[in-house]
Amino acid sequence: MEKLTYRDTRNYAPIDVTKGMDLLTREIVMADAEAPEGYEPIPKCKLCTNFTGTDTFMGTCEASMNEPKFIAYPDMVATTCEMYQAM
Partner 1 sequence: MAKTLKSVLADAGIPMDFESGGQAPETLTDREITREPHPRVQKLKDIFMESLSSASNEFPYWYTREYMLHDSEVPVIRRAKALKSAFSHSTPVIFPGELLTMRKAPYVRGSFPMPWLSEGFYMAKEDEFYQEALKRGSASVDEHSKFGQGGGNVPQSFGKVISIAGKFGIRQEEVPALLKLAKLWFGKSVDDLGNKYEQMVPGYETKEKIMRNIVCMFDSGFTLPQGREVINYYYPLEYGFDGIIKIAKEMKAKVAGRADGDGMVGMNRLYNYEAVIHVIEGVQNWILNYAKEAARLEALETCARQKKEYREMAERLEWIAHNPPRTFIEAFQMIETVHIAALNEDAISGLAPGRIGQVLYPYFEQDIAAGRITEDEVIELLELDRVYKTSIDCFASVGVVGGVLSGNTFNTVSIGGLDKNGRSAVNRLEYLILEAGATNAMPQSTLALLYDEKLPEDFLMLAMEVIKTGAGYPAFMNTPIAQEFLVNQYGHEGMDSEEARAWAIGGCLETSPCTWKPLHLNGREYWIPGGAGQPTSVGVHFVSMPKVLELTLFNGIDQNTGEKVYEPHNRSLDTYEALEEQFKKYWKETVGVLTLTNNIQHDIWRKNNMAIFSSLLKPDCLDNGHLINELGYRYNATFNVESTGTITFVNSMAALKKMVYEDRELNLEEMKTALKENFGFRDAHEINSFSLADQEKRDDSDNRWDKLHFKALQSPKYGNDDHYADSILLEWENFFCPDCKNYESLYGHTMYPCQISVSTHGAMGSATIASPDGRLSGTTFADASLSAYPGTDKNGPFALLNSATVWDHSMSQNCQLNIKVHPSAINGHEGAKKLLDLTRAYMRKGGFHIQYNIVDSKVLKAAQEHPENYRDLMVRVAGFTQYWVEIGKGVQDELIARTEYEGV
37 scored as a contact of partner 1 (CB under 8 A):
no
CA pair distance 77, 47, nearest whole angstrom: 10
CA pair distance 58, 71, nearest whole angstrom: 7
| Nearest by Cα to 2 from 43, 34, 32 | 34
8 scored as a contact of ligand SF4 (CB under 6 A):
no
Residue 63 interacting entry, from partner 1, ligand SF4, none, C-beta within 5 to 8 Å by type: ligand SF4
Give contact residues for partner 1 (rule: CB under 8 A): 11, 13-19, 21, 23-24, 26, 28, 32, 55, 57-58, 61, 64-66, 70-71, 73-77, 79-81
